[in-house]
Amino acid sequence: MLLGPLTHPGLIGALAAAGHGSQILLADGNYPAATGANRDATRIHLNLRPGLLDVDQVLAVVQQAVPLEAATVMTPGDGSEIPAHAAYRQALGGDVDFRELGRFEFYDACRGPDLAVVVATGDQRLYANLLLTIGVRE
């Protein structure tokens, strides 16, 4: 019997197989999850319909399942503020290193060998992608 809030078997298994330094992509509904990520990463499809589930909802559960040391977001080239990013900063707190990358640099990071898990969400917000780095269990 599980005690934590995470009950999705595929996601539990993928997170258990990942370790310190491995990355988890919480992809919005616009992200090319099939082609914009490491081919070897486990793909979890939680995009039931537009808007369900969103990245915030998945983040709330994932951060209770694994320790996080860093978070990276995709930013538009015009420097505009993305409301989702402020929510992520607040949810993650000050102990998680928060980074920003441009669109194509973000895609390159997600295609890297450290990406272990891609969670496709139904989040409809633009630039709502969140790349998380697993930390060390204390």
User: Domain limits of the chain?
Assistant: 20-134
pLDDT on residue 95: 92
Q: pTM surpassing 0.85?
A: yes
Chain segment 50-92, per-residue pLDDT in tens: 999 999 999 999 999 999 999 999 999 898 999 999 999 999 9
Q: Which residues pair with 24 in a beta bridge?
A: 117, 132
Domain 20-134 has CATH 3.40.190.10: no
Chain segment 87-126, per-residue pLDDT in tens: 999 999 989 999 999 999 999 999 999 999 999 999 999 9
Chain segment 15-43, per-residue pLDDT in tens: 999 999 999 999 999 999 999 999 999 99
In 18-134, alpha helices (H): 55-65, 83-92, 103-110
pLDDT on residue 121: 98
